[in-house]
Structure 1
Amino acid sequence: MRKIVVVDYPRDWDEATEDTEVVDTQTYLTDAAYTDIKNARIFNLSRSYRYQSAGYYVSLLAEARGHKAIPSVTTMQDLKSPTIVRAITVELNDLIQKSLAGLRSKNFTLSIYFGHNVALKYEKLCKQLHDLFKAPLLRAQFVYKEEWVLQSISPIPVNEVPESHRSDLKRFAKAYFARHRFSSVRVSRKIYDLAILVDPHEKAPPSNEKAIQYFVEAAEGQGFYTELITKDDYRRLAEFDALFIRETTAVNHHTYRFARKAHADGLVVIDDPVSILRCTNKVYLAELLTKAKVPVPKTMIIHKDNRTQVESVLGLPCVLKKPDSSFSQGVVKAKDKEGLKEELDKMLADSELIIGQEYKPTDFDWRIGVLDKQPLYACKYFMAKGHWQIYNWNGKKKQDEEGDGEVVPFELVPFHVLHTALKAANLIGNGLYGVDVKEINGKAYVIEVNDNPSIDAGVEDKILKKELYASIIKSIKKRIDTHKNSRNYE
């Protein structure tokens, strides 16, 4: 397996070892030679892992390319949340107290370089923290409040490692890169109930009130205690055995924090945090689908160095998408050169990378619902009145905001539409997904894969009726049973 160290500037990493290669972030992100590597482990030493920074995209695209990234995007998000940090490290409390018992100050900073510290006495604590938050360079901040508390843990920019620590850093790195396996710690718990996360004030939730009621009825009919929770119930997640998210998800949002904490606590989660990370970023999806040879409209990942090529590659008009767009928001059609320049200026000011696609107008988009890697339902979503998208958030009348939906029996769905949708969804995982597909001249093109598909009473359930809701609850129950059985054999 190729071992590639990615840094913002070559001068950041002169501790090269014989079995690793060093590349800069821009080269890894944009050079096609790195897209086609089949077996690689990426050690991401970018100076920043901020959301949508170049360092963030190194790990995101590594995952899309089938490379193993350290840190993963999941770890990056975990490090940003003190609540998640405390939830994941609660089992280390005894070790923390023992390791820091001799300190007299009220604050302590622990630098962790590839799972080690320059002081041998903190070796065990460093290893445990590194196994939970698998990032090359970490800074753990502890405060004393009757006992030692881990206040935060964050990445150390490689250029901020003190010169006095560089020799130790090189020694630790050499041993680290020589390892063939990189194990992780499992975090689990033991409780059994269902929480459905909703936002009563959301303008366009993935399930309407009637559908939520049907989900509750289906769950209770299968022996669940079910409760609707909101973002204010974060601390109560440990009371449940499973979490079903029925509000629009995003990475920089409480829905992701709920999913990640639930996953860390051992709950069954739909949408799981990995699916949220993968589906909510269009850059990741573009890379993933292209690499897997799933048919998509002509697509390019746009950055500051290739923005002048958009018109020649995609033509005009073309579609531009923010990486984390959803429900047609953050998706625009650039009609001419002036509009293209204006939209690119706006989007690239917020994100290092955005998505551009050729414009392929159709009267409707197919939506194939997928659960446990099997088709669940099929719909035609028609464009909003007088608009080129399913949703028109600028519609003057409420009835003009959203196009009609029509459920279609599977036997009437073209085989290539169903097959292509399944191939795309199964690249993401085995959760609940909605795959949007355009059919043009007998070919199916995947537009995107949604981790939080719409399931509304009166639309998606027109054929299966209440069995649609029961099928999803059965899947959750099966996952709980499987999880419990696996725990019994550990």
Structure 2
Amino acid sequence: MMIILKSKKRQPHQTEKTIQILKDKLRERKIKSKIIVLENIEVFLNEKRVVMKINNWIPSKRSPVYFRIAERYKNASYIFSKYLEMKKVPFIDNYHTFTRERNKLIQMFLLAIKGISIPKTYYSPAYDSRKIRNAARFLKFPVVIKLTEKERGEGVFLAKNAVEIKRILGKNKGQEIILQEYLDNDFDYRILVLGHKTKLGETRTRTNKREFRNNACVGAVEEFFPAEEVPSDMKKISEQSSRIMNIQVCGVDIIRSRKGKIYVIEVNFSPGFTLDEKMDELNQTADYLKKWHEKKY
């Protein structure tokens, strides 16, 4: 059985007709085929398991996939093709396995397939009531909703029930969105990693009791501490994450749960620097760039 993966997004009549004719031509050649819609993909991520489903179809080696997808869904195509690659399912074209994107969706997927501890994450290119129910069962409430292209705390919401999820999704139609489990915390960590080595740590503590985000730009208080004081488990996971993302200068955001387990929340490839008196982040970055420059020149 060959799978033809297409988009539900309205296509020109000729495109739809072409796909149907292709299906007929395959049947003439004694090849069974099935058309599957990309928007129906559901992605379930955590460090122990990565699962993708399309309705009741789960990819298998006996069902090669032909991508017939619009550019609009390049990120969804990328993670699906990498999943097929991981499961050793043949597909065409290999073009879909390449991307320069490192947004929140791509990050969570790449970290999860390498076994990095992340919050449980759910994604679909198009949400509906059934998918919201599936996400809620997987994540439990409250649920964190993130617009994947936003940064510095923007486009991040907390939903306490399905009605709130629908309302937030409705206000952000057309945006790529992931849903994540909420990890209860009082503060989080930002680990500055330069050249895949931990150079500085900080805690970010929110001061507004009605706020759940720990971003400095929404009022969180930052306290810096030297690399020697960064816990060993945080050093290890931060450096691993920077290598997986292939980012030389990054800030790795981490939450330690109430039970003591650490989770990577995000790998910031252009971390903001605090302009305080010590300017620790800028000094560390300048030192790293100086050494890098000396090696190159």
Output one character per residue of 1:373-419: Cα deviation in whole Å (capped at 9) or x when no partner. Answer: 222322112224332112387xxxxxxx3211111222322222221
Output one character per residue of 1:350-394: Cα deviation in whole Å (capped at 9) or x when no partner. Answer: 13x52111211322211112222222322112224332112387x
Shift in Å, 1:344: 2.5
Partner residue, 2:194: 371
Output one character per residue of 1:119-154: Cα deviation in whole Å (capped at 9) or x when no partner. Answer: xxxxxxxxxxxxxxxxxxxxxxxxxxxxxxxxxxxx
Partner residue, 2:13: none
Contact 1:362 1:438 in 2 (8 A): yes
Q: Does 1:316 align with 2:141?
A: yes
Shift in Å, 1:30: 3.2
Percent identity between the aligned chains?
21
Shift in Å, 1:33: 5.9
Partner residue, 2:266: 448
Shift in Å, 1:452: 0.6
- Counterpart CA distance in 1 for 2:59 and 2:230 is 34
Moved more, 322-331 or 376-385: 376-385
Q: 2:243 aligns with which of 426, 438, 448?
A: 426
- Counterpart CA distance in 2 for 1:373 and 1:11 is 49
- Counterpart CA distance in 1 for 2:287 and 2:186 is 32
Give the match's secondary structure for 1:290. helix
Give the match's secondary structure for 1:366. strand
Q: Does 1:59 align with 2:78?
A: yes
Output one character per residue of 1:1-56: Cα deviation in whole Å (capped at 9) or x when no partner. Answer: xx98643375274465999x876342894374679889xx976431x212xx3x54
Cα RMSD after superposing both structures: 3.7
Give the match's secondary structure for 1:324. coil
Q: 2:150 aligns with which of 325, 329, 351?
A: 325
Contact 1:377 1:460 in 2 (8 A): no
- Equivalent positions of 1:299-448 (< 5 A) are 299-302=121-124, 303-304=127-128, 305-347=130-172, 349-351=173-175, 353-386=176-209, 387-391=211-215, 401-440=218-257, 441-448=259-266
With over 3 angstroms needed to count, the CA separation of the structure-2 counterparts of 1:338 and 1:428, relative to structure 1, is: same
Partner residue, 2:47: none
Shift in Å, 1:337: 3.7
Contact 2:204 2:220 in 1 (8 A): yes
Letter in 1 for 2:136: E
Contact 1:375 1:422 in 2 (8 A): yes
- Counterpart CA distance in 2 for 1:461 and 1:343 is 37
- Counterpart CA distance in 1 for 2:21 and 2:254 is 44
**TM-score under structure 2 length normalisation:** 0.71
Q: Does 1:26 align with 2:51?
A: no
Shift in Å, 1:71: 4.5
- Counterpart CA distance in 1 for 2:83 and 2:52 is 15
- Equivalent positions of 1:38-53 (< 5 A) are 44-46=67-69, 48-50=70-72, 53=73
Q: 2:116 aligns with which of 271, 294, 312?
A: 294
Higher relative CO (Cα under 8 Å, sequence separation at least 6) belongs to 2
Q: 1:11 aligns with which of 20, 32, 55?
A: 20
Shift in Å, 1:431: 2.3
Output one character per residue of 1:215-242: Cα deviation in whole Å (capped at 9) or x when no partner. Answer: xxxxxxxxxxxxxxxxxxxxxxxxxxxx
Contact 1:300 1:356 in 2 (8 A): yes
Q: Does 1:474 align with 2:297?
A: no
Letter in 1 for 2:200: Y
With over 3 angstroms needed to count, the CA separation of the structure-2 counterparts of 1:434 and 1:7, relative to structure 1, is: same
Q: Does 1:70 align with 2:100?
A: no
With over 3 angstroms needed to count, the CA separation of the structure-2 counterparts of 1:306 and 1:467, relative to structure 1, is: closer
Contact 2:79 2:106 in 1 (8 A): yes
With over 3 angstroms needed to count, the CA separation of the structure-2 counterparts of 1:7 and 1:36, relative to structure 1, is: closer
With over 3 angstroms needed to count, the CA separation of the structure-2 counterparts of 1:33 and 1:350, relative to structure 1, is: closer
Contact 2:147 2:155 in 1 (8 A): yes
Contact 2:247 2:269 in 1 (8 A): no
With over 3 angstroms needed to count, the CA separation of the structure-2 counterparts of 1:430 and 1:330, relative to structure 1, is: closer
More helix by share: 1
- Counterpart CA distance in 2 for 1:414 and 1:64 is 33
Letter in 1 for 2:239: L
Letter in 2 for 1:57: A
Shift in Å, 1:330: 0.5
Give the match's secondary structure for 1:312. helix
With over 3 angstroms needed to count, the CA separation of the structure-2 counterparts of 1:454 and 1:27, relative to structure 1, is: closer
Shift in Å, 1:311: 2.8
Shift in Å, 1:65: 7.0
- Max radius of gyration: which structure? 1
Unaligned runs of 5+ in 2: 8-15, 44-50, 87-92
**TM-score under structure 1 length normalisation:** 0.46
- Counterpart CA distance in 1 for 2:195 and 2:224 is 20
Give the match's secondary structure for 1:345. helix
Letter in 1 for 2:229: L
- Counterpart CA distance in 2 for 1:475 and 1:64 is 35
With over 3 angstroms needed to count, the CA separation of the structure-2 counterparts of 1:432 and 1:420, relative to structure 1, is: same
